[in-house]
């Protein structure tokens, strides 16, 4: 798979139906083009930075060599070009995304329009290939009354509202799905659709539900589970992905709504006044065409062999403070964790403060073991895990290959940019 991507300033209507506004875009669109690849593919991305500032492209969740990861250690200068080359690993089929990751400016550049999805396909996908697939890249933003983007060049640390943003991360009041406001998806009665959902929001955590019906949760960051799990709502923190099977249960011509319910991730002092408002995300309309016969879904999707805790050579405690990891802010010249290539470790992420922090590790998928000592009910491959206020999450990770320096950080973008990030070195 070979593709050219250019990040450039451009003008387009970010608010659907609104006036053109100054944005950054990959190949002229927001979100950028969806990259569809297969396990085993060699991917070559010819990237050109046409912005007036340094940037990178980070392939969030993709297991690849450190120098192809687009981390802040490998900035691409304004006007420069760079080829990102990597091979998609076996067993990594799933939903990923790409976004800029320059030092201190990821939040600005992503909010300005630079984000896109990556779908990695499994040549032997256990789900019927006949299921219609929908990709939902969730984002949110703020606009002035005239429809132009409301995004200061630098975070405003001096005003009370700016300080709330630094604390909470920047939430927008306009919710976007693939860049559209309240789009309509059509489903046939009896049909099962496979939804891939990406939370590309800077700070908003979604708690998704379709009132009146359940769905099957079949996968998350690193692809499918061993078996489907039936749910009526799901929390999706920043940069997490899920795969859901949604069944058309309505009568012909009726409508349902995908909503996001209140999710309290805040400290009381800066909790937004309307935090507990339910928000509509999209309309799910049942087509008037005759119902489809029942779709039979597999009960087993794949086997996820557990990583063996007895093989762990170290347990790291990573504590999350407000804006700090292990009491420090990011230093690009410092190594915070040194680990040996080929070893397995347990990481214990403890959140010491009164708001949630979604923790992300670059380059390697992990298996969550437990939350506050309670084992998680099923295994999956994750690269980001929300750590709720005052909770502790433990995961196990195998550093099988790819030496070098890897970021780990909070994925609330203002926290990340303000230095809530550390560096793991593998050698």
Residue with tokens 């976004």: 99
* Total residue count of the chain as it appears in this document: 427
Pick from 217, 212, 178: nearest CA to 198: 178
The neighbour count for residue 398, using CB atoms within 10 Å, is: 17
Q: Residues 63, 112, 357, 362: which binds ligand C2O (CB under 6 A)?
A: 362
Beta-bridge partner residues of 67: none
Q: Residues 137, 256, 407, 423: which binds ligand C2O (CB under 6 A)?
A: 407
Pick from 146, 139, 59: nearest CA to 362: 59
Q: How far is the CB of 239 from ligand C2O (least distance, A)?
A: 5
**Which of residues 170 and 188 has its CB atom nearest to ligand C2O in the complex?**
170
Distance CA 48, CA 32 (A): 14
Q: Which two tokens stand for residue 271?
A: 């909790």
Q: How far is the CB of 373 from ligand C2O (least distance, A)?
A: 28
405 touches which of ligand C2O, Cu ion, none (CB within 5 to 8 A by kind)? none
Q: How far is the CB of 240 from Cu ion (least distance, A)?
A: 11
Residue with tokens 């060599």: 65
101 touches which of Cu ion, ligand C2O, none (CB within 5 to 8 A by kind)? ligand C2O
Residue 39: DSSP 8-state = T
Stretch that binds Cu ion, among 86-94, 120-128, 298-306, 357-365 (CB under 5 A): 357-365
Q: Which two tokens stand for residue 174?
A: 């306009």
Is 405 near Cu ion (CB under 5 A)? no
Q: Which two tokens stand for residue 327?
A: 């009491």
Residue nearest to Cu ion (CB): 410
Beta-bridge partner residues of 149: 143
Strands 374-375 and 279-286: unpaired
Containing H/E element for 37?
strand 35-38
- Non-local CB neighbours of 143 within 8 Å, separated by 6+ positions: 14, 15, 18, 21, 149, 150, 172, 174
382 touches which of Cu ion, ligand C2O, none (CB within 5 to 8 A by kind)? none
x/- track of binding to Cu ion for residues 53-92 (CB under 5 A):
-------x--------------------------------
User: Which parts of 305-344 interact with ligand C2O (CB under 6 A)?
Assistant: none
Is 265 near ligand C2O (CB under 6 A)? no
Is 362 near Cu ion (CB under 5 A)? yes
3-state secondary structure of 260: strand
Q: Residues 49, 55, 58, 265: which binds ligand C2O (CB under 6 A)?
A: 58
User: Which parts of 195-254 interact with ligand C2O (CB under 6 A)?
Assistant: 239
Query: Using CA of residue 123, residue 127, residue 128, residue 133, what is the dihedral sign?
Result: negative
394 touches which of Cu ion, ligand C2O, none (CB within 5 to 8 A by kind)? none
Q: Residues 415, 418, 422, 426: which binds Cu ion (CB under 5 A)?
A: 415
Is 177 near ligand C2O (CB under 6 A)? no
Residue nearest to ligand C2O (CB): 60
Rg, C-alpha atoms of the chain: 21
For ligand C2O, the binding residues (CB under 6 A) are: 58, 60, 99, 101, 239, 360, 362, 407, 409, 411
For Cu ion, the binding residues (CB under 5 A) are: 60, 357, 362, 410, 412, 415
């Amino acid at each position: 798979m070979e593709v050219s991507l250019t990040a450039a300033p451009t003008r387009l209507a970010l608010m659907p139906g609104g006036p053109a506004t100054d944005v950054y875009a990959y190949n002229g669109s927001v979100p950028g083009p969806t990259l569809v690849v297969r396990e085993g593919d060699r991917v070559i991305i010819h990237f050109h930075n046409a912005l007036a500032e340094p940037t990178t492209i980070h392939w969030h969740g993709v297991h690849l060599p450190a120098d192809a990861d687009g981390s802040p250690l490998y900035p691409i200068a304004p006007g420069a070009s760079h080829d990102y080359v990597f091979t998609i690993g076996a067993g990594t089929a799933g939903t990923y995304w790409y976004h800029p990751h320059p030092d201190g400016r990821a939040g600005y550049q992503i909010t300005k329009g630079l984000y896109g999805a990556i779908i990695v396909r499994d040549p032997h996908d256990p789900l019927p290939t006949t299921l219609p697939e929908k990709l939902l890249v969730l984002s949110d933003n703020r606009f002035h009354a005239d429809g132009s983007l409301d995004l200061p060049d630098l975070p405003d640390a001096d005003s009370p509202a700016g300080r709330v943003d630094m604390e909470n991360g920047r939430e927008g009041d306009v919710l976007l799905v693939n860049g559209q406001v309240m789009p309509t998806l059509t489903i046939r009665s009896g049909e099962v659709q496979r939804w891939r959902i990406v939370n590309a929001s800077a700070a908003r955590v979604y708690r998704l539900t379709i009132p009146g019906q359940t769905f099957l949760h079949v996968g998350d960051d690193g692809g499918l589970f061993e078996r489907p799990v039936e749910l009526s709502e799901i929390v999706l923190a920043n940069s997490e992905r899920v795969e859901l099977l949604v069944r058309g249960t309505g009568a012909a011509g009726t409508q349902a709504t995908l909503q996001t319910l209140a999710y309290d991730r805040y400290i009381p002092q800066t909790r937004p006044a309307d935090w507990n408002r339910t928000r509509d995300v999209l309309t799910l309309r049942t087509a008037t065409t005759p119902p489809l016969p029942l779709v039979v879904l597999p009960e087993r999707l794949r086997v996820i062999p557990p990583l063996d805790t007895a093989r762990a050579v170290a347990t790291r405690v990573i504590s999350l403070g407000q804006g700090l990891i292990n009491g420090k802010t990011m230093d690009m010249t410092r190594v915070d964790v040194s680990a040996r290539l080929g070893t397995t470790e347990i990481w214990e992420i403890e959140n010491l403060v009164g708001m949630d922090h979604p923790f992300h590790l670059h380059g390697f998928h992990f298996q969550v073991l437990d939350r506050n000592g309670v084992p998680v009910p099923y295994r999956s491959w994750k690269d980001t895990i929300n750590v709720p206020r005052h909770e502790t999450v433990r995961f196990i990770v195998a550093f099988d290959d790819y030496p070098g320096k890897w970021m780990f950080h909070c994925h609330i973008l203002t926290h990340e940019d303000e230095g809530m990030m550390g560096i793991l070195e593998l050698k």
